Each structure stands twice: as structure tokens, then as C-alpha cells.
Amino acid sequence: MTRGRLLVVDDHELLAQSLAWSLRAETFDVTVVVPASAEDIYRAVHETAPDVVLLDLELHAGIGDALPMIGPLRERGTLVVMLTGVTDRVRLAECLEAGAVGLLSKAVSFDELVDAVREVVELGSLVSAHRRADLMAELRAQRRDLTRRFAAFERLTPREQEVLLALLQGRSAEVIAKEAYVSIATVRSQIRAVLQKLDVNSQLAAVALAHASGWPAASGAR
């Protein structure tokens, strides 16, 4: 009798197969998928109906961040445990927020991984209430900081954000006007609005503030 059905999702096939071998020795029913796309993962879940998916957080360039997959996988009725080399505590907290029930480091031994998998199959979770609370507190603190840092940028209209992004990319007012099919006077008016809302006195200062704040990447602006 098997202890449970597992799906190992990792683009490092040697690691995935080695882990699968160790888990099968403990009578787990293990399937390995080295995905070329997110659909490969969902298809494998549909075909194998695993109790637990061991999911690498950072897959290859064709897939990238696996965080958005956690929710859909949970909706399919499987537990999700992140098996990752990522150590950023905020990123790990985001995994818990999305529905992951465990966080496993690729740095631990196979014996420790097997013990952890056994625990999640039996108990349905790997994360203590204390660790979850600590990680979620860090996530909330980071979001408060981002809200504070980007408050001024949020006051910009979509067009003003586009103008600031163009300035960040080194475009002059003349080039911005030409690309947008508007007058140079219109663009200069938009730049003045940007400077006023950011409370700076020059385009250089606006660009420096954006760089220092991590805008637009960290804010999600386009």
C-alpha cells in the first residue's frame, strides 16, 4: 500500500528523479514532471490526481515564477509544497498567502525531505503557526513600506506615468512628443505636473527618485 501520491515539479531533472527515487523507497507513488509550460503541470495534476505537489518556485525561463500556479493547483484539490532554493522570506510568505502548505529548502538532505513529505501527507501542513505568523508579518510590513514609497507615484495620471517612464528610459521631451503625436508644449506641461506631484525640481531629480524607490518595477506600474 502506498503512503500517498506525489507529483514532483522541477526543471532540474536529476534532482527531481533522485528525490523521486528516495520517496518511492518509502512507498510513495511518485510522478516527476519536467515542465515545458504551465499546462504540462496542470495536465500532470489532472492525470495523476496527486495528494501533494512538490513545486519549484523558480522554473525555467519559459515558465518563470511558479507563484501564480499555487492557487489553481489548490483548486484542483492537491496540497502544494514549495521545494525551492529561494530564501527571500517575503517571497516565501507570498507562497503561503497563495495557499502553499509547506516550504522546503533544496539545501536540506533527502532524508529530511522524505520526513517532511511524510509529515505533510499525514498532517496536511508543514508550517507552524508561529513561522506562518512571522512570515506574514514581514509580508505586511513590506507592503506597508511599498505603499509609502509609491504614494507620490500613485498620484500620477496614467499619461504622466508614461512620461516619467519615458524620462527613465532617457527620452527627451521632444522625442516623447513625437512618439505620442502631441505638441512639445503638452509634454512639457505633463513633465511639470510630474515634478510637482513628486515634489522635485528637475527631471533629473524625478528620475533619481524613481530609481531610488524601485519604480516602476516594484510598484507594478507599467
Domains of the chain: 5-140 (3.40.50.2300), 151-219 (1.10.10.10)
Residue-wise pLDDT tens digits, 11-33: 888 989 988 998 999 889 999 99
Q: What was the pLDDT predicted at 122? A: 87
Q: Mean pLDDT score of the chain, rounded to an integer?
A: 91
| Cell numbers given for 113 | 525531505
User: Residue written as cell 513633465?
Assistant: 191
Contacts of 194 by beta carbon, 8 Å cutoff, 6+ apart: 156, 160, 163, 164, 167, 206
- Average pLDDT estimate for 163-188: 95
Q: What was the pLDDT predicted at 8? A: 95
Q: What was the pLDDT predicted at 2? A: 62
Contacts of 107 by beta carbon, 8 Å cutoff, 6+ apart: 85
Cα–Cα distance measured from residue 161 to residue 153, given in angstroms and rounded to the nearest whole number = 8
Residue-wise pLDDT tens digits, 97-141: 999 999 999 888 888 888 898 899 888 888 999 999 999 999 999
| Cell numbers given for 162 | 508614461
Please write down the long-range contacts of 58-63, taking CB distance under 8 Å and 24 or more positions apart. Answer: 58/84, 58/85, 58/86, 59/9, 59/10, 59/11, 59/35, 60/11, 62/36, 62/37, 63/11, 63/35, 63/36, 63/37, 63/38
Residue-wise pLDDT tens digits, 30-71: 999 999 999 999 999 999 999 999 999 999 867 889 999 999
Cα–Cα distance measured from residue 135 to residue 128, given in angstroms and rounded to the nearest whole number = 11
Task: Kindly give the interhelix angle for 89-98 and 129-149, rounded to the nearest 10 degrees.
Answer: 110
3-state secondary structure of 188: helix
Number of neighbouring beta carbons within 10 Å of residue 46: 9
Q: What was the pLDDT predicted at 49? A: 94
Nearest one of 217, 215, 207 to 150, comparing CA atoms: 215
Amino acid at 208: A
